[in-house]
């Protein structure tokens, strides 16, 4: 919720999904510039979401996770994530990443 409010405050229009199935449905029914996804989801993973989304459309993707090892970053890149942010999110870093993906 904090992230949603912050993104809205930054001027972004957002949609929120709380699981893999709703995320896929939202991305298929709307147009987005970037997808931010937690890796751990109740019914799957952010890796699943992004790999499926990127098969259908080119879109920038940012992983949000509690894990930041080299292996985590590598796995994220393989799934299709363009950036990897580790929780707790540094909001200045998030803003920089969003500026980069929208440039």
What are the tens digits of pLDDT across the range 62-89?
999 999 999 999 999 999 999 999 999 9
The alpha carbons of the chain give a radius of gyration, in whole angstroms, of 13
- Is residue 27 within 8 Å of 6, Cβ to Cβ? no
36-52 burial by CB neighbour count: b if 16+ within 10 A, else e? bbbbebeeebbbbbbeb
Q: What are phi and psi of 79, to 5 degrees?
A: -75, -25
**pLDDT for 10:** 85
**CATH superfamily of the domain spanning 2-101:** Response regulator (3.40.50.2300)
Domain ranges of the chain: 2-101
Cα torsion 51, 3, 103, 75 to 10°: value is: -30
């Amino acid at each position: 919720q904090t992230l949603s409010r912050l993104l809205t405050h930054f001027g972004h229009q957002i949609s929120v999904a709380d699981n893999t199935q709703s995320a896929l449905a939202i991305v298929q029914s709307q147009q987005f510039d970037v997808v931010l996804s937690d890796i751990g989801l109740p019914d799957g993973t952010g890796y699943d979401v992004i790999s499926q989304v990127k098969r259908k459309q080119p879109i920038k993707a940012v992983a949000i996770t509690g894990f930041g090892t080299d292996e985590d970053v590598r796995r994220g890149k393989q799934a299709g994530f363009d950036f990897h942010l580790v929780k707790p999110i540094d909001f200045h870093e998030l803003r920089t990443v969003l500026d980069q993906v929208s440039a």
